[in-house]
Structure 1
């Protein structure tokens, strides 16, 4: 395998213009799962103080993106080590097997990203609370254990829950806390739909890979419950996320401007419909893209709804 990898390394720059390989390695379409929660948490904080510490916002944003990118790289590395990736694999993973990037290079780059995020974390702690350091360490550890370690989280039914918790409510509340010094019930409640939708991104990935995961003995949610039931969970998750916002407006007296999130419903519908009747992974790629876009649009529209309420 080593000579093949080295041969591919020599042609990577020529075939993919170099930077595109590294950009793809970060799985950029998934990074909004970091950008959206940080933005939402900061917007919620602005509602409390009518000001934002730009330095803390940027540090939190960059650190979150770097940790997620590093997690994607750990996934790339360990999927290769376990033989889950090959040249026929569908998706943007497989930089090692398709583009010839050496596994050690990917691991070192992931560790570099973690190192930079730790430095940013120190800045955040100095300007907020050192309790953030504990949460940050746990988040990094979970990111590694998602695909690393003897029993990867991604191979269990907990993948959706852990990704939702640590990429959703965790990031939103940290972003809120470092700006305000506190956590409120409203911030927790508002973070729930985004937490659900980030978990659904993971679910969509597992629905696509259910056949291969069965072959490798992975026990993901779609493997255990079946593809059709997993798709029902996806549809129910979308429904709950929208109903949740409507409930917050009615029972918690949040601004009606939050109803702007309903504009993202077509993307959610497209995601669910895109999986129906599909059996081949390549056929499900548009549905996976629509799933990620639903989270992105939902989160941004929710933030915009709060911003409009500030103005009017």
Structure 2
């Protein structure tokens, strides 16, 4: 399940809860609980599918594992657990689907397109998306940003809103940037099984510039949201992480292939990705 990685889910879900509260002034506690369970199940599902297929392809036996990339090593240590892992992936997928169906019955079919795309992303990310450079780049942010945050907002209000879309953009850019930097140590291993992502296709230096663009777009989205009155002025609290983002960007730009020197930057990148949505949520609740 890669339990430490699951912190990303409540961080992103909190933004959708925040937009719903900012716009409606009320929250349904039962719905919030269901959303968190469904989102965590989705994250567990995609993690375990990823673990299963990377073990099956032999990728995880080739990667140099770091605290932030390279898989958990669980199936390399216990190959007999592969069938149980696949069962866990499908079970948590089912939990997410059932909770989604519940909200469709409550609020209507409008949630279906977003939900179906999210479910397809869960089961096809490791088998399809990661073999296309652009899809591999946008898939993580799409899942944890736009889909998760707008889905949360809809499940609490029964409608989509421009505020929820704008508020989802920082997480969208940050999570794609998170996976982008985490791909740096895996270039040779990923290349050996035919994967295609930016560090493979355009190299480390240009990929670092893409990461920098993601950071810039993150903070511009917050500023635009406040200026357009789609976010409260307190949403600017999200800008507190700018110095950390600059530090991670500089380290990525200076990467010369020594993975051990990149690990602190990967940790800072994780911190930025977790803290920025939470700070945005705090701003929404204060607002």
**Shared fold per TM-score greater than 0.5:** yes
Offset, 1:59: 0.9
Matched, 1:198 2:175: yes
Bigger shift: 39-48 or 182-191? 182-191
Rounded Cα–Cα distance in structure 1 between residues aligned with 2:44 and 2:144: 12
Rounded Cα–Cα distance in structure 2 between residues aligned with 1:221 and 1:258: 31
Contact 1:60 1:124 in 2 (8 A): no
Structure 2 residue aligned with 1:153, among 115, 129, 146? 129
Matched, 1:303 2:278: no
Give ranges in structure 1 of 5+ residues lacking alignment.
Answer: 1-25
Matched, 1:270 2:242: no
1:261 match:
238
Matched, 1:94 2:73: yes
Rounded Cα–Cα distance in structure 2 between residues aligned with 1:78 and 1:253: 41
Bigger shift: 113-122 or 298-307? 113-122
Offset, 1:82: 0.9
Structure 1 residues 216-227: aligned runs within 5 Å: 216-227=193-204
Structure 2 residue aligned with 1:116, among 89, 95, 105? 95
Rounded Cα–Cα distance in structure 2 between residues aligned with 1:277 and 1:265: 20
Aligned pair in 2 of structure 1 residues 136, 243: CA closer, same or farther (>3 Å)?
closer
Rounded Cα–Cα distance in structure 2 between residues aligned with 1:239 and 1:87: 34
2:119 match:
140
- Displaced runs of 4+ in structure 1, greater than 6 A? none
Give the TM-score, by structure 2 length: 0.90
Aligned residue pair count: 281
Offset, 1:87: 7.5
Q: Which has the larger radius of gyration?
A: 1
Structure of greater relative contact order (alpha carbons < 8 Å, 6+ residues apart): 2
Give the TM-score, by structure 1 length: 0.83
2:7 match:
32
Bigger shift: 74-83 or 185-194? 185-194
Rounded Cα–Cα distance in structure 1 between residues aligned with 2:232 and 2:112: 34
Matched, 1:64 2:39: yes
1:287 match:
265
Aligned pair in 2 of structure 1 residues 249, 118: CA closer, same or farther (>3 Å)?
closer
Give ranges in structure 2 of 5+ residues lacking alignment.
Answer: none
